[in-house]
Amino acid sequence: MSDDMQVPEELKGNVFITSLSKVYGWGRKYSLWPMFFGVACCAIEFMAASAARFDTGRWGMDLARASPRQADLIVVSGTVTKKMAPKIVTLYNQMAEPKYVISMGACATGGGPFKEGYNVISGIDQFLPVDVYVPGCPPTPEALMVAYMAVHEKVFNEKINEVRWYRKDPIPEAPVPLLGGPDMIDPRHIPEISAAAAEAAAQEAAAETAGVEAVVETESAEAAVEAAAESAATSEA
């Protein structure tokens, strides 16, 4: 409180002066509604963290939401496969702004011990903007509590006039990856991939055409040589 502000004695200790952004952040950080997306072992630790012993209800997070429309925090825990990644991104796009992502465990963060698997994504951050990473294989419930605290800190420090939904800026959706061949494809790169494929096909067609022309020229030359030889033999006879 500024020194030049006059506050009656009977109100001192009962009046708090702060910014709207701080009130906004304080209210939101204690009302995050998580959506649980467990795909492997780390899901067990999330369930343990949601039990009474750790009391996430003190932060307003005691009930995991089953619908993305009711959630603003998604906790991705476990191994993310190529078949599951598009589903996760689709659910993320259905969540209301502002929204946050926690990558829980080594597998969700970088593929973990299954990183070299043919069907494993090496980190969900290839497709979603991750806010907090939780290390471990699997992480403990205490580690997830620390991640919650980090999200709370981020939410509290956000300024209301800088968040996207307040400014009414266009909010682009995260592109849903496509399974094309052995790997995932970012749909934003499809025009580039199509152009490269068309160019490669054109080069192949040109090479085939050049090859056919070369064969034709060779055959013509051979025929001319044979005709000349026959003509010479006829003349000698």
Q: pLDDT class for 1, splitting at 50, 70, 90?
A: very low
Q: Helices (DSSP H) in 30-177: which residue ranges?
A: 42-49, 85-94, 106-110, 141-157, 164-167
Which has more confidence, 186 or 86? 86
**SS3 (DSSP) at 178:** strand
Q: How far apart are CA 86 and CA 175, in angstroms?
A: 9
The domain made up of 13-179 is a member of CATH 3.40.50.12280: yes
Which pair of tokens denotes residue 219?
């055959």
- pLDDT tens-place string over residues 120-154: 888 898 889 999 999 988 899 899 999 999 999 99
Whole-model pTM over 0.95: no
- pLDDT tens-place string over residues 5-44: 676 777 677 777 777 778 888 888 888 888 878 888 888 8
Partners of 132 in beta bridges:
102
Sequence ranges of the domains in the chain: 13-179, 189-236
**Could you tell me which of 107, 88, 63, 237 has the C-alpha nearest to residue 177?**
88
For residue 165, pLDDT over 90 is answered with no
Q: How far apart are CA 181 and CA 183, in angstroms?
A: 6
